[in-house]
A and B are shown apart, each in its own frame.
Chain A
Amino acid sequence: MTTPATLPVTSNSDVVLVRQHVRTVAVDVGLSLVDQTKVVTAASELARNALVYAGGGRVRVEIVHNGIRRGLRLTFSDDGPGIPDIERALTDGWTTGGGLGLGLSGSRRLVDEFDVRSAPGEGTLITVTKWAR
């Protein structure tokens, strides 16, 4: 599959496919094994969030450049109910879905750049970037 690519997230098996695709691209970008695992885990968390809280969404996977540095950018978007209180959602241990409450806050720590845009009723857009070292 070429990049940029947009993958649907509508079932648990899609989450697995997203993970596999992100891993392939992460290897292409030249991320270290640790960074590959981190970005794959973040992708897994965010894709599952889109599935669990918004009933599905999509993710755009692309390679970005900053000077000579290459990076991997993932953009998760959904048309779900949105996040009413982003600050609170980013607190460790806060969950409305019965999970550990670390998916969103943990993902922020797993990547280099993290941006959430969301409003109630307007869906959620999360952009994360991981740069190769």
Chain B
Amino acid sequence: MSVSAEAGRRRIEELLQEHQERVFKRWLQLAASSAGHGDRGDLTGQLREIYQALKQSFTDSGDLSDLRGLLAELSRSRARHGFSPSETAVMVFGLKEALYESVEADGSPEALRGFIWFSRIIDDLGLFTIESYAVAREKVIIDQAEQLLELSTPVVKLWEGIVAVPLVGTLDSARTQVVMEKLLQTLVDTGSEHAVIDITGVPAVDTQVAQHLLKTVVAARLMGAECVISGIRPQIAHTIVTLGIEFGDIVTKASLADALAHALRESGVDFVRRRTHVAVRTEER
């Protein structure tokens, strides 16, 4: 750093110290107007901490880690209260305007030179608050995606020896992996010999989805269980034929009820009508 830049920087430090009350009051005023609502007392406390950390960072030869920690905290808490990241950043930028009034009053070339340097630091910090916001949001999204993966793949027992997996939504490699593992594990745990994979809730069956389904069926077969794929709607059947996908000798059914009836028949369960009542009812979806 050149001598004049060093002098400018020192002058800014002095201004931040000498005019502390004035600069801080103005900053608080600007921040409160951009914040609009919220707890003013809370804001004062947070800004004072940041102000102190900023001054501290100058004496610690530019170590901004404490300050960044505080800003990340502020960004997160404001994100929770429904502020946009730019509102938080604008609040940080407010410090520039607040200090500029003191710099102007000072008027020395050092102060002006130092102000350019100070601006750059505040810009960096403003961008940092936006980054922290994005990181926090991203984490929420990843967590939700994982939860969804777990939630959306239940394996249910339909009958003694018959389990079903109702698939809903898009089947990608990650989800198929989870479905396959769960299904195979359930086959072992329950000693089932029949599995029904219901794709009523899958909006489109393309070659990738079909391939995933085929692999799941083959894996289940290797474990001695027979799979039935159900819930093939007319438009899906049409599309599968046109695409040229062959399901080979895999049993497919239009509805889950048909698949259950098929699996029951295969496992040797018979239904007998008792006078006028149906002894066992299979529920239509």
Contacts and interface: CB of A to CB of B under 8 A. Distances in A.
Please determine whether chains A and B interact with each other in the same assembly: yes
Nearest to B210: A100
A106 B204 contact: no
Contact of B207 (A12, A37, A38, A100): A100
A110 interface: yes
B236 A37 contact: yes
Contact of A45 (B172, B173, B206, B238): B206
B245 interface: yes
Nearest to A101: B207
A1 interface: no
Given A19-B204, A37-B204, A102 B245 contact: yes
Interface string A1-14: 00000000000100
A99 B212 CA distance: 10
B208 interface: yes
Nearest to A38: B239
Contacts of B235: 33-34, 36-38
Contacts of A36: 235
B147 interface: no
Contacts of A99: 207-208, 211
B204 A34 contact: no
Contact of A109 (B208, B210, B242): B242
B245 A100 contact: yes
B245 A106 contact: yes
B169 to A, nearest CB: 9
A41 B244 contact: no
B234 interface: yes
Contact of A38 (B170, B211, B242, B245): B242
A12 B243 contact: no
How many B residues touch the partner, as a band?
A: 20 to 34
A57 interface: no
B240 to A, nearest CB: 9
Interface in B235-271: 235-236, 238-239, 242-245
A92 B242 CA distance: 12
Contacts of B173: 12
Contacts of B203: 19, 23, 40
A128 B203 CA distance: 21
Given A12-B172, A109-B243, A109-B244, A37 B208 contact: no
A44 interface: yes
Contact of A48 (B205, B208, B239): B208
Interface string A74-94: 000000000000000000100
Interface string A46-80: 00100000000000000000000000000000000
A105 interface: yes
A34 B238 contact: yes
A23 B210 CA distance: 20
**Which 9 pairs from chain A and chain B are nearest by CB?**
A106-B243, A37-B235, A44-B206, A34-B235, A100-B207, A109-B242, A34-B238, A102-B207, A41-B239
Given A36-B235, A100-B245, A110-B239, 17 more contacts: A19-B203, A34-B234, A34-B235, A34-B239, A38-B242, A40-B204, A41-B204, A48-B206, A99-B211, A100-B210, A100-B211, A102-B207, A102-B244, A106-B243, A109-B242, A109-B244, A110-B242
Interface of B: 170, 172-173, 203-208, 210-211, 234-236, 238-239, 242-245
